[in-house]
Amino acid sequence: MVKILNNPMNEDSSVRSVLRGGQRIRARNEARLINAAIQVFADRGLEGATTARIAETAGLPKANLYYYFASKETIYRRAVLGILEKWLDAFNALSPDDDPALAIADYVRAKMTASFNHPAESRLFARELLSGAPIVKHYLETELRDWVARKSVIIKAWSDKGLMAPVSPPHLFFIIWAATQTFADFSVQIDCVLGPEDRSSRQEIATDEIVSFVLRACGLGG
Amino acid sequence: MVKILNNPMNEDSSVRSVLRGGQRIRARNEARLINAAIQVFADRGLEGATTARIAETAGLPKANLYYYFASKETIYRRAVLGILEKWLDAFNALSPDDDPALAIADYVRAKMTASFNHPAESRLFARELLSGAPIVKHYLETELRDWVARKSVIIKAWSDKGLMAPVSPPHLFFIIWAATQTFADFSVQIDCVLGPEDRSSRQEIATDEIVSFVLRACGLGG
DNA sequence: GAATAACCTGACCATATGGTCAAGATTTTA
DNA sequence: TAAAATCTTGACCATATGGTCAGGTTATTC
């Protein structure tokens, strides 16, 4: 478990603090506000979002937001770091003993599911990166860099054994991240190009297409 | 040539209006302001950018910006539509008689070059899409959709003839766009992950990696 | 070279919004 | 149940910034 934020929700809180009243109201309202913030920041960006709108989305008056968060930057920070932490934990697949095809397919599939089910998180993160990553830069240089280094060893081992094509592991991740997150970040574009037909089956088709594309590129049939 | 904006620069201006004084000053100052706007909007977004900063970047006082553009939205619109028009014209490759491997490699290479040489344009466009494409949506539904439809016929013909693997042509473009533009849009992330070594050779390495990745996925060796 | 059109800009205004606060309501604790 | 702690919120303020404008300068035309 990667520890980035040290909010109480990271600890034993889930049981205790829900029972005792200690921080019950605080936990509930902060969660509401963070979720609202993710939505609004994802849609409008740090400067485009107003604290009034975040509060309204959370169903609370603006002054209440400032009771829990010192500033707009503070709640932005919490939202972005929360997403990063969640992502680093969620995608921890790829162990050396796995079958490369299965492991990579699983990873890509999980990323696609995340893009379709939680697009706002991806969009907010995209905005943070577009702005030069003022908040997460430090974690990209450490946590994420290490994560990629660890996974790269595994990929390298696979291609050295001839189990897959020799790809540059970091670039493999860059492509997978880009190709999967594009379905969250730039979904307007995709919807416009594909037009109004068959909107329902689209997630499955896209997922299969991206998975087999990546597998083929890795020399893993498909 | 796709016509989206009807600014004078699209017509015979290049010769005549540079010679006659007619619109000379206007053309020069509008160009300066648009270029500055692309930079500033790319870095900060529509709401984060200030007209004062755009003007300053262009080396003009703010009131001068408002002499040429009615509002911040107006200059934003001009910047975004200008990029779209340029892109639709620039990437018109892929003719049926080409060799698939060469044609696709050329296209990917051109997109990579654009990402490295004009990252601000890509970033601004990314922001526009993240915000739901309020300005370009209409053109995505028409110009871009048609563009993809035309290219899709060619790709389809190639795979029908067995010249390449059977891929969904639109999804091929989505992946290529995502994988190439990520080097402009999310370059911070890439730089953080790759660390401080060999900064110079990186463009070439990345380009080769993405090109051969895509070719392999298309069943075109690599 | 005078009249006309195009361009320039410091000073200014109106509004939106980030943030504060004081007074009161609820909840928790002992 | 009373005191302490936590939570709630309408009303308010200060500032940043989008946008205006009047008066002046430069360029173009005839």
Q: B62 and B136: one domain? A: no
Q: B29 and B112: one domain? A: no
Alpha carbon A91 to its chain centroid, in Å, reads 9
- HSE value, Cβ hemisphere, 13 Å, CA-based, for B16: 8
CATH number at residue B113: 1.10.357.10
For residue B57, the enclosing domain spans 8-81
* Domain boundary residue, one of B81, B100, B133: B81
Q: Is the C-beta atom of A24 closer than 7 angstroms to strand C?
A: yes
* Domain boundary residue, one of B81, B100, B119: B81
Chain A to chain B Cβ contacts (< 8 Å): 163
What are the DSSP E strand ranges found in A57-158? none
CATH number at residue A48: 1.10.10.60
Alpha-helix residue ranges (DSSP H) falling in A161-201: 169-185, 187-194
Q: A71 and A114: one domain? A: no
Mean pLDDT of chain A: 91
**Closest residue (Cα, C1') to D26:** B25
The Cα–Cα gap between A149 and A141 comes to 11
Q: A12 and A118: one domain? A: no
The confidence score (pLDDT) of residue A89 equals 84
- From A4, A7, A11, select the one nearest A89 (Cα to Cα): A4
| Within a domain: A86 | no
Give the confidence band of A19 by pLDDT, cuts at 50, 70, 90: very low
Q: B65 and B113: one domain? A: no
State which nucleotides on strand D lie below 7 Å from a protein beta carbon: 6-11, 16-22, 27-29
The confidence score (pLDDT) of residue A93 equals 72
CB contact under 8 A, B145 and A47: no
Q: B50 and B105: one domain? A: no
The confidence score (pLDDT) of residue A87 equals 92
Helix (H, G, I), strand (E, B) or coil at A218: coil
| Within a domain: A153 | yes
Predicted confidence (pLDDT) per residue in A51-83, tens digit: 999 999 999 999 999 999 999 999 999 999 999
Asked if the model's pLDDT at residue B152 lies above 60, the reply is: yes
The confidence score (pLDDT) of residue A7 equals 55
**Closest residue (Cα, C1') to D16:** B50
B211: Cβ contacts below 8 Å, ≥ 6 apart: B105, B108, B109, B112, B222
Give strand letter and number of the nucleotide nearest A28 (CA to C1'): D7
| Within a domain: B166 | yes
| Within a domain: A222 | no
Alpha carbon B108 to its chain centroid, in Å, reads 13
The Cα–Cα gap between A7 and B136 comes to 40
Buried b (16+ CB within 10 A) or exposed e, B167-180: bbbbbbbbbbbbbb
Between B144, B194, B206, which is nearest A193 by CB?
A: B144
Note whether B201 contacts A: Cβ–Cβ < 8 A. no
A21 CA to C30 C1' in angstroms comes to: 16
Q: A187 and A97: one domain? A: yes
The total of structural domains in chain A comes to: 2
Q: A211 and A174: one domain? A: yes
Q: A77 and A103: one domain? A: no
Contacts of A130 in chain B (CB under 8 A): 42, 45, 123, 126-127, 130, 185-186
Q: A103 and A210: one domain? A: yes
Residue A195 tokens read as: 């037009």
- From B75, B74, B70, select the one nearest B54 (Cα to Cα): B75
* Domain boundary residue, one of B56, B81, B106: B81
Contacts of A39 in chain B (CB under 8 A): none
Q: A42 and A97: one domain? A: no
The Cα–Cα gap between A83 and A37 comes to 12
B105: Cβ contacts below 8 Å, ≥ 6 apart: B211, B214, B215
| Within a domain: A48 | yes
Q: B65 and B106: one domain? A: no
Mean pLDDT of chain B: 91
| Within a domain: B34 | yes
B145: Cβ contacts below 8 Å, ≥ 6 apart: A192, A193, A195
Contacts of B218 in chain A (CB under 8 A): 216
Predicted confidence (pLDDT) per residue in B28-60, tens digit: 999 999 999 999 999 999 999 999 999 999 999
| Within a domain: B42 | yes
